[in-house]
Chain A
Amino acid sequence: METALVNGITIPHLCYKKGLSTTGSCRVCMVKIEGSPGMQAACTTEVVEGMKVITSDDEIDEARKLIVELILSEHKHDCLVCESNGNCELQDLAYELGIERIRFPISKSIEPTEDSSQVILKNPNRCILCGRCVRACAEITVQRVLNFAARGSCTFLISGLDQPLADTDCVSCGACIQACPTGALTEKLSRFQGRSWEFRKVQTICPYCGVGCRIELNIKNDKIVKVYGVEEGPANKGHLCVKGRFGFDYVHHKDRLTTPLIKHNGKFEEASWDEALNLVTAKFKELKDKHGSDALAGLSSAKCTNEENYLFQKFIRTCFGTNNVDHCARLCHASTVAGLARAFGSGAMTNSTQAFERADVILVTGSNTTEAHPVIGNYFKHLAVYNGTKLMIVDPRAIELTEYAEIWLRQKGGTDVAWINGLMNVIINEDLYNKEFVENRTENFDQFRKVVSKYTPEKVEKITGIPEEKLIAAARMYGKADRGSIVFAMGITQHTTGTDNVLSLANLAMLCGNVGREGTGINPLRGQNNVQGACDVGALSDVYPGYQKVSEAQARKKFETSWGVKLSPKEGLTVVEIMDAASKGEIKGLYIMGENPMLSDPNLNHVREGLENLDFLVVQDIFLTETAELADVVLPGVSFAEKEGTFTNTCRRIQLLHKAIPPIGKSREDWKIIMEISKRMGYPTAYHSPGEIMDEIASLTPIYGGVHFDRLGEQGLQWPCPSRNHPGTPYLHKGKFTRGKGLFTPVDYIPPAELPDEEYPFLLSTGRILYHFHTGSLSRRSKPLDGIAPEGFLEINPQDAEKLRIKNNDWVRLSSRRGKLKVKVKITNRVDKRVVFMTFHFAESAANLLTNDALDPVAKIPEYKVSAVKIERI
């Protein structure tokens, strides 16, 4: 079947779907094969050399017709009100085969539609039992919620133990809807809002996490009605998570900012663009004249495009005249960039998500992948179950992936350097390391070896709580693997030792020769849709586009020549430092584009102090966020659906966005707003389109050197792509590290900045949940997402809960040295004793009131993952 489809030969089919296993159950794809008796199902028959196949003749067509008639006799024909009318494979088949009349009685018993899920409607009357949804749920999402019951003449589709979908483990990804050939599974919220032929279809990139899923927006009357995963999308191959598929309705939310706002006497009033822009420029000019360039700063946005980020940092550097420009990458992967740049010479994911299947062992640490990067997380589950890939999870919480792991090491929060050193201690002692690689491709091994030799499994057990024998087993597993891939996220980076943690992982990969080949590497999963890109194009205080250092005269000169202004040689302030400087009165004016530090930054009380102390704050966003409420001027930007440009995903893939709808109200594309302010501040720029901005980026940024819009197409390009005809780079450091030789760095274990004590006896860790994103300014304005997860919670171990006499759903007061909040309790074994976990999405119980703003000395990333708290019953 696959061979036929690839070669443009049509064989009618229903139960076959590309990417899923085959069952040959619908019998529609019957063909004749020379030398074999009767007919065979094309989908389950493998092609062999010289095989002669007849895909259609009178006999085959008659048999197909009969089969489709039988299927139709068990299907309710309510095409008039069916969501899938016009997009129904059964309907198409009946038409193609010319079935005018069904010779059998229509015998479907009519059952009610199951609508318990927030997003999925299950209509059993339209189900033809092809099993595509069952396989999608089992093989793509690996959730296995759907199945057939009572197989035989009365087979029916169930979820869980024949329960309503909402009561099962369903993660609402909608893979079943996309797999369904009829209207048995449809999008609940899109009901009666349009059918296939009424939609304008625009392909673009999902605005949530860094996986970079390609999506198809289905639009009617300039309103997004439905979203499909694009089967050819390089990062997702058609798959999406609940946020990508159903979390788009924020685009049309009534809270969208539609006009500029200016604050008069503490109250926002609507203003014209001219008024707002003139005020913004006048104030920034005045502050610059009075207090100097370094009294101004800007926060750029990992939600915005590469082109907008490039323009933003260019604006701050040219018009403000300072390097005080940073963005939330500082809060998530600054330590990755610092650590990997030092060890390898390049601070990005070394390999591609597509090639994880080549790995024998995947070590996942500090990444709750199935919730934070669901499409990759589901892929890991798929590899563990169907591909024999061994998963090794190192995480203080019993996250979902631990259930699929060969080995799970549960370390105490903030002890990562110790267990990684321990692992390497065993690998070196047991002679499992790759001597050839170490000798030829790295340096400083002996120094490093000395430090590692101190970390015996016994010592490591004392620090981390990981039993000796488990550590040894894990070391053997990773050490013996031909291809080992390391995957990590905030659990590694958001520590005062974040850079040390990353350096340790880099040591581990180099020790086993796991760099520079497919299916190996060090793979930081980036959290925002374009956080990789925002870093790449220089929205960081210490580097210009392409990580060219501000402090290096040669790089500075290059940008001075191109931009035609004198640039500051001084490295700028980082996110947390900007807030700090603001509260001290050193920063007077701040321009924030698409960030919400009032929820995202650590120690929120301190952030508020800083923002309130500013003379002038401009916030450009699509909603009046917690931060925007403190602004003097609010400028309405647009969402991903209203603009063109590029996002760079977690594995360095630059992908093209397509404008799907016009800006809402009087809102304007962000790059146009920056251009306007820039012009009014005396630095006119004249770009006609984001494509022109990318051409400028390419001319100044060697890793993007060959990137032009006309080359990006459906698959995008992975940087480094230095020249016009370079095909892009799927994995880095092949044959040679970016810096030449890989550098081993001896790293000693240092405890976190703040540990539990008598007064604050619990260790608080923070993170994401599946249904929300970052500060929730988008996901909390999505009806289905907020419907599924309307409030924050505190995870606590059953034993601790009992000691504190707390029950599930009780409210407690949680406090740290920095702040306090009220939150509901969820009792679960996911967290260990003396450890609690909270998400940071909810303004009502904002975890970052409590978190510690102690910084990693190198990367300036705060320690979100460890702070000491106490819990009191209310």
Chain B
Amino acid sequence: MKLRNKEKDVIALLNKAQRENKHNYITEDKLKLIAQETGLSYSEVYGVATFYSLFSLKPQGEYVIRVCNSGPCHLMGSKSIFDVLEKELKIKIGETTADGRFTLEEVSCLGICNEAPAMMINEKVYGSLTPQKIREILIGLKKK
């Protein structure tokens, strides 16, 4: 059925697909399924999925670390946050660790500028970051 009466569901379905995936991404099969369910075409679903930066079409780490690089965080030293993370995880922005546990990304504004610099790991937001605090958070996650 391609009459477009279910197209409004597409974002919710993409979100669900990504959350349910072990590697935090939306597989090609899921994209096709979502197209069928919503009556959208493949290219339309792909267009939506690639517009939102929180959706990924490539496997991501178990933990996706998104560091804010908008004005306030930049001023409060997000550069050093990136440096620490890149050094600790041995990856660059946009990459995933070889063991598939961590992905590092850059985002614009997490909405807690009062606690800049900030980052988000999966659903959880961390503010007032220092290199030390980051190391502690990473140690905590690596243990899990």
Chain A interface main SS type: loop
Say yes or no: A145 contacts B2, CB within 8 Å.
no
Looking at the assembled complex, report how far the CB atom of A133 sits from the nearest CB atom of chain B, in whole angstroms.
11
Looking at the assembled complex, report how far the CB atom of B50 sits from the nearest CB atom of chain A, in whole angstroms.
4
Which of B12-20, B40-48, B58-66 lies at the binding interface?
B40-48
Say yes or no: A162 contacts B46, CB within 8 Å.
yes
What residues of chain B lie closer than 8 Å to A406, measured between beta carbons? Answer: 3
Looking at the assembled complex, report how far the CB atom of B53 sits from the nearest CB atom of chain A, in whole angstroms.
9
Which of A121-129, A153-161, A497-505 lies at the binding interface?
A153-161
* Smallest CB gap from B31: residue in A: A161
Say yes or no: A159 contacts B43, CB within 8 Å.
yes
Say yes or no: A385 contacts B4, CB within 8 Å.
yes
Say yes or no: B44 contacts A403, CB within 8 Å.
no
B1 interface contact, C-beta 8 A: yes
B88 interface contact, C-beta 8 A: no
A553 interface contact, C-beta 8 A: no
A686 interface contact, C-beta 8 A: no
Q: A144-B41, A145-B41 are in contact. Are A158 and B47 (CB under 8 A)?
A: yes
Most-contacted residue by chain A among B41, B42, B43 (CB, 10 A) = B43
Say yes or no: B1 contacts A160, CB within 8 Å.
no
Mask of A162-173 contacts with B, CB within 8 angstroms, 1/0: 110000110000
* Smallest CB gap from A406: residue in B: B3
Q: A150-B50, A150-B51 are in contact. Are A161 and B43 (CB under 8 A)?
A: yes
Q: A385-B2, A403-B1 are in contact. Are A151 and B47 (CB under 8 A)?
A: yes
* Smallest CB gap from B1: residue in A: A403
A150 CA to B31 CA in the complex, in Å? 15
What residues of chain B lie closer than 8 Å to A151, measured between beta carbons? Answer: 47, 50-51
Say yes or no: B42 contacts A168, CB within 8 Å.
yes
Mask of A393-417 contacts with B, CB within 8 angstroms, 1/0: 0000000000110100000000000
Residue in contact with A158 in the complex, picked from B32, B40, B43, CB distance below 8 Å: B43
A385 CA to B41 CA in the complex, in Å? 13
Residue in contact with B43 in the complex, picked from A150, A160, A385, CB distance below 8 Å: A160
Interface residues of B in 95-112 (CB under 8 A from A): none
A261 interface contact, C-beta 8 A: no
What residues of chain A lie closer than 8 Å to B4, measured between beta carbons? Answer: 385
A147 CA to B51 CA in the complex, in Å? 12
What residues of chain A lie closer than 8 Å to B31, measured between beta carbons? Answer: 161
Say yes or no: A152 contacts B51, CB within 8 Å.
yes
Say yes or no: B3 contacts A149, CB within 8 Å.
no
Say yes or no: B46 contacts A404, CB within 8 Å.
no
Most-contacted residue by chain B among A160, A168, A404 (CB, 10 A) = A160
Number of interface residues of A (CB under 8 A): 24
B28 interface contact, C-beta 8 A: yes
A385 CA to B46 CA in the complex, in Å? 20
A385 CA to B4 CA in the complex, in Å? 7
Say yes or no: A404 contacts B43, CB within 8 Å.
no
Q: A161-B32, A161-B43 are in contact. Are A404 and B50 (CB under 8 A)?
A: no
A467 CA to B50 CA in the complex, in Å? 43
A489 CA to B40 CA in the complex, in Å? 29
What residues of chain B lie closer than 8 Å to A381, measured between beta carbons? Answer: 2
A437 interface contact, C-beta 8 A: no
* Smallest CB gap from A147: residue in B: B43
Say yes or no: B46 contacts A161, CB within 8 Å.
yes
Say yes or no: A147 contacts B2, CB within 8 Å.
no
* Smallest CB gap from B47: residue in A: A147
Say yes or no: B47 contacts A148, CB within 8 Å.
yes
Say yes or no: B2 contacts A149, CB within 8 Å.
no
What residues of chain A lie closer than 8 Å to B41, measured between beta carbons? Answer: 143-145, 147, 160, 169
Looking at the assembled complex, report how far the CB atom of A405 sits from the nearest CB atom of chain B, in whole angstroms.
8
Say yes or no: A144 contacts B44, CB within 8 Å.
yes
A149 CA to B43 CA in the complex, in Å? 8
Q: A144-B41, A160-B42 are in contact. Are A149 and B47 (CB under 8 A)?
A: yes
What residues of chain A lie closer than 8 Å to B28, measured between beta carbons? Answer: 161
Q: A151-B50, A152-B51 are in contact. Are A144 and B43 (CB under 8 A)?
A: yes
* Smallest CB gap from B53: residue in A: A152
Looking at the assembled complex, report how far the CB atom of A16 sits from the nearest CB atom of chain B, in whole angstroms.
21
A147 CA to B4 CA in the complex, in Å? 16
Looking at the assembled complex, report how far the CB atom of B14 sits from the nearest CB atom of chain A, in whole angstroms.
13
A160 CA to B50 CA in the complex, in Å? 13
Say yes or no: A145 contacts B43, CB within 8 Å.
yes
A163 CA to B35 CA in the complex, in Å? 15
A168 CA to B45 CA in the complex, in Å? 14
A158 CA to B51 CA in the complex, in Å? 13
A146 interface contact, C-beta 8 A: yes
A143 CA to B44 CA in the complex, in Å? 11
Interface residues of A in 333-392 (CB under 8 A from B): 381, 384-385
A147 CA to B41 CA in the complex, in Å? 10
What residues of chain A lie closer than 8 Å to B3, measured between beta carbons? Answer: 384-385, 404, 406
A100 CA to B40 CA in the complex, in Å? 44
A159 CA to B41 CA in the complex, in Å? 10
What residues of chain A lie closer than 8 Å to B46, measured between beta carbons? Answer: 147, 149, 158, 160-162
What residues of chain A lie closer than 8 Å to B1, measured between beta carbons? Answer: 403-404
A163 CA to B28 CA in the complex, in Å? 11
Looking at the assembled complex, report how far the CB atom of B60 sits from the nearest CB atom of chain A, in whole angstroms.
17
Say yes or no: B43 contacts A146, CB within 8 Å.
yes
What residues of chain A lie closer than 8 Å to B44, measured between beta carbons? Answer: 144, 147
Interface residues of B in 3-34 (CB under 8 A from A): 3-4, 28, 31-32
A150 CA to B4 CA in the complex, in Å? 22
A384 CA to B2 CA in the complex, in Å? 9
* Smallest CB gap from B45: residue in A: A161
Mask of A182-215 contacts with B, CB within 8 angstroms, 1/0: 0000000000000000000000000000000000
Looking at the assembled complex, report how far the CB atom of A774 sits from the nearest CB atom of chain B, in whole angstroms.
29
What residues of chain A lie closer than 8 Å to B40, measured between beta carbons? Answer: 144
A336 CA to B28 CA in the complex, in Å? 47
What residues of chain B lie closer than 8 Å to A384, measured between beta carbons? Answer: 3
A593 CA to B4 CA in the complex, in Å? 48
Interface residues of B in 66-87 (CB under 8 A from A): none
What residues of chain B lie closer than 8 Å to A158, measured between beta carbons? Answer: 43, 46-47
* Smallest CB gap from B28: residue in A: A161
Say yes or no: B42 contacts A161, CB within 8 Å.
yes
A146 CA to B46 CA in the complex, in Å? 10
A143 CA to B43 CA in the complex, in Å? 10
A147 CA to B31 CA in the complex, in Å? 15
What residues of chain B lie closer than 8 Å to A143, measured between beta carbons? Answer: 41
A143 CA to B51 CA in the complex, in Å? 21
Looking at the assembled complex, report how far the CB atom of B78 sits from the nearest CB atom of chain A, in whole angstroms.
21
A304 CA to B53 CA in the complex, in Å? 58
A851 CA to B32 CA in the complex, in Å? 39
The 6 A-B pairs with the shortest beta carbon distances in the complex, nearest first, are: A144-B41, A147-B43, A149-B50, A147-B47, A150-B50, A160-B42
List, sorted by A's number, 19 A–B pairs whose CB atoms are closer than 8 Å: A144-B43, A144-B44, A145-B42, A145-B43, A147-B41, A147-B44, A150-B50, A150-B51, A151-B51, A160-B41, A160-B42, A160-B46, A161-B42, A161-B46, A163-B42, A381-B2, A403-B2, A404-B2, A404-B3
Instruction: A158-B47, A161-B31, A161-B42 are known; give 5 further A-B pairs, CB within 8 A.
Output: A144-B43, A147-B43, A160-B43, A163-B42, A384-B3
